[in-house]
Amino acid sequence: MSIAHAPAHVPTPEELEAYKARLSAAVLREEAIPVQYTEDGKRVTWQDQGSQGEFLDSPWFETLYHGTRGPGKTDGLIMSFAMECEQGHGEAWRGIMFRQTYPQLADVEAKTQKWFRHIFPGRCKFNKSKMLWEWSTGEVLLLRHMMRPSDYLNYHGHEYPFIGWEELTNWANDECYKLMIACCRTSKMDVPRMIRATTNPYGVGHNWVKDRWQLYGKWWETRIILEPKNSQGLIERPRCAIHGHIDENKILLAADPHYKQTIVSSAANPAMAEAWLDGSWDIVAGGMFDDVWDARYNLVKKFDLPGWPKE
């Protein structure tokens, strides 16, 4: 049976050049981290670490994997699709993974190239012109970008039981994300349906992501919202947020012991450093005053107004 796919974007020469440059850099980063290692005398290709396991096991329809830089959020996103491949779903297991821009997809291609050729040797292939992975058993994973809500029309009416979003705070609002929820469906029984997303705090979409998953207070604890309500007060499907921390990624830190210092050096301001190193949602981001607001200096302690009657 032949299934039509959403057409791949035809990149401009500038986009293609940026993609190639980003892919080269991404491949070098991935090559620095071992594909296989030994644990308890056994050769291991990939194994979840810390919060990755909780993310993969999440039973909730919408699950956000947020936190610091480096706990392996992208790997977790990729594996959440891969773990259902070759499980008997066949062509019904169709996934689509989004980045905001075309060049950003190079990061996803580099990681999928790294893992899939070892986990599924000779059983899946990447079609560069169509920007998709296809398994001999029928499963398909599309790599796509979505810049604006009107891009949704490319997917209207499609069935994707798996929808993945990488770096969710790159989107300034929730329009693209919410439009695609209707596509998370399948006409085949016993096929899981899931929406999975990763992100760091910070970015233009910091506030809407924080609100959607209610990342207030103890944001580092797993957050499960059983009956979230939309703006009209109607109940939506349950959603979950799981926090990941760089300290969980023993493999990365063994390969790059100075990775935390690299994060500190690359942060443009203290709020970004706190977001990337601690995964904090308490920072001010997504607004006009991100680079100048600091609660340590811009808030004053409570005081009584002279001449104002006390309660």
Q: Return the exposure string of 86-106: e unless at least 16 CB atoms fall within 10 Å of the residue's CB, then b.
A: beebbebbbbbbbbbebbbbb
pLDDT tens digit sequence for 50-83: 999 999 999 999 999 999 999 999 999 999 999 9
With respect to residue 171, please indicate whether it lies within any of the assigned structural domains: yes
Question: How many domains does one find in the chain?
Answer: 1
* Domain annotation covers residue 108: yes
For residue 278, the enclosing domain spans: 13-298
Q: Would 306 be classed as within a structural domain?
A: no
**Residue 164 covered by a domain:** yes
- The whole-angstrom separation of Cα 128 and Cα 139 is 16
Sheet holding 124-127, edge to edge: 124-127, 132-135, 140-145, 94-99, 162-165, 194-199, 62-67, 239-244, 223-225
In a domain, 36, yes or no: yes
DSSP letter for 294, please: -
- 272 is a domain residue: yes
Is 303 part of a structural domain of the chain?
Answer: no
Domain at 252, CATH number: 3.40.50.300
- Which of 100, 102, 97, 101 shows the shortest CA–CA distance to 112? 97
List beta partners, residue 240: 63, 224
- Residue 4 in any domain: the answer is no
pTM: 0.89
Query: How do the pLDDT tens digits run along the chain, 311 residues long?
Result: 445 577 888 899 999 999 999 999 999 999 888 787 767 777 788 999 999 999 999 999 999 999 999 999 999 999 999 999 999 999 999 999 999 999 999 999 999 999 999 999 999 999 999 999 999 999 999 999 999 999 999 999 999 999 999 999 999 999 999 999 999 999 999 999 999 999 999 999 999 999 999 999 999 999 999 999 998 999 999 999 999 999 999 989 998 999 999 999 999 999 999 999 999 999 987 654 554 555 555 666 776 767 777 66
